[in-house]
Amino acid sequence: MRNMPAVLVVEDEPAIAELIAVNLRHNGFRPTWAMDSASAQCELDAALPDLILLDWMLPGESGLVLAKRWRAHPRTKTVPLIMLTARGDESDRVAGLDAGADDYIAKPFSTKELLARIRAVLRRRAPEPVGEAIAVGGLVLDPGTHRVSFEDQPIKLGPTEFKLLHYLLGHAERVHSRAQLLDKVWGDHVYIEERTVDVHVKRLREALGQAGPLVETVRGAGYRLTAKPVDSPAGQAAVGRLSA
């Protein structure tokens, strides 16, 4: 039982929660149910799960509020989180991802899809093979210590942003489409929209602070990491030479 991944299901509809729990048990997971924000917080205070399934609409505080709070807290910020909701508009999906969700599933959904997404998120959060530190333009990432710094100043990144930066640093100056990044960072056979890449790139840039401009948007093509961003003096000089 201890080797079975623990999943906290935060859902106020008993029928849906029971359906999810039964399918989780039958597929090698240990589900725990919380029906509102208060009981969910109590469960998290008692023990951290391997993953959280969080409904958007809850009695008391909404799932969106909980996601933002848990992502801001050092103890819970790295726990994988998938939002469940009947709100399927793009703006709602983006709001859920911006709040810190790793993935977003709109109701109604099939249990097969839910299980596939859970496994995909857990795979993405699994430790990567340790390699040598990579440095580009003052930005340094060390896979062995899981540390990132810019000009010797530490930077804190979430697991997905760390993997995204690791891949971009390892393939600096190359342009990567959203589909390529989904395949390389999130893995194939993952039910995630390309818009998710934009959300995580935005989150990565914000976390990088002054190093954010190193992650460039290439209009109509995708993203690249460069040692000489266009808005830097070196980058502007390079653009001037190309346009001369």
Going from N- to C-terminal start, the domains of the chain cover 6-124, 134-243
Query: Which residues, other chains included, contact 240 with Cβ-Cβ below 8 Å and sequence gap of 6+?
Result: none
3-state secondary structure at position 186? helix
Q: Please give the class, per CATH, of domain 6-124.
A: alpha beta
Please name the residues in contact with 49: beta carbons below 8 A apart, sequence gap of 6 or more: 5, 6, 7, 8, 32, 43, 79
CA-to-CA distance for 190 and 81, rounded, in angstroms? Answer: 15
Per-residue tokens: 16: 């849906």
Average pLDDT over residues 22-34: 94
- Confirm whether 6-124 and 134-243 share one CATH topology: no
Choice among 92-106, 155-169, 221-235 with the minimum mean pLDDT: 221-235
Q: Which two tokens stand for residue 154?
A: 């530490």
**CA–CA distance, 72 with 195 (Å, rounded to integer):** 23
Q: What is the mean pLDDT of residues 220-230?
A: 85
Q: How far apart are CA 15 and CA 130, in angstroms?
A: 43
94-142 residue pLDDT tens? 777 788 888 888 888 888 989 998 998 888 766 555 578 899 989 999 9
| Cα–Cα distance, 83 to 51 (Å, whole number) | 11
Q: Are 104 and 96 in contact (CB under 8 A)?
A: yes
- The per-residue pLDDT for range 189-217, each reduced to its tens digit, is 455 677 888 999 999 999 999 999 999 99
Q: Could you tell me if 204 and 196 are in contact, meaning their C-beta atoms sit under 8 angstroms apart? A: no
pTM strictly above 0.85: no
Q: In CATH, what class is 134-243?
A: mainly alpha
Determine the pLDDT at residue 216: 95
- Show the tokens assigned to 134: 């990579």
β-sheet with 139-142: strand ranges across: 134-136, 139-142, 147-150, 153-155
